[in-house]
Structure 1
Amino acid sequence: MDALHAELSQLIIDTLNLAGTTAESVDVDAPLFGEGLGLDSLDALELVVALEYHYGIEKPLEGDEARAVFRSVRTLATFVAEHRTK
């Protein structure tokens, strides 16, 4: 797991209060929603706010693009690396 994957995994854990989950235990290719980490649409909103705050990302995401970005920690890391301002 590279540094950004670990950082994002920890951000997800901290933002969503995922007790009992460690950054090391997060599979960067597992789905964030449904059977993976089991996140839902409210969790997605909280993550968007956290990404804006921590990385200065202001690119709006909707529909298929949002689903693609939030598919896994790996896809989220790619998006953050491309759009971060902090």
Structure 2
Amino acid sequence: MGLTPAEAELSRLIIESLNLPMDPLQVDPEASLYGGPLGLDSIDFLEISMVITKKYGVMISSGGEDKTEIFNSLRSLCNYVQNHKPG
């Protein structure tokens, strides 16, 4: 279940920005983000999208059809961010 360095960084960013009471390094990278162990909802995803845009310069469209796939798990979100970072 180990996190890659990029996943650990993103997990820490999510946990801190949403003030979740858990260790970022204990997040299962394959677990569902929506309603899964973290209990995230659409409002949380909006917050996460804003934080990701601010930190990484990656925009996640709120109306994008692939949003469900992007936010499927920490791993899928991290892959999206890594593949769409500017530069």
Whether these two folds match at TM > 0.5 is yes
CA offsets 1:11-60 (integer angstroms, 9 cap, x no match): 110110002x1112100000011133110111011001001000001352
In 2: Cα distance, 1:9 partner to 1:59 partner: 17
Partner of 1:29: 30
Matched-pair identity in %: 38
SS of corresponding position for 1:36: coil
Distance 1:65 1:58, change over 3 A: same
Please tell me whether residue 18 in structure 1 is matched to residue 20 in structure 2: yes
Unaligned runs of 5+ in 2: none
Q: CA deviation at 1:61?
A: 4.6
Segments of 4+ moved more than 6 angstroms: none
Q: TM-score, normalised by structure 2?
A: 0.89
Partner of 2:45: 44
Contact 2:60 2:67 in 1 (8 A): no
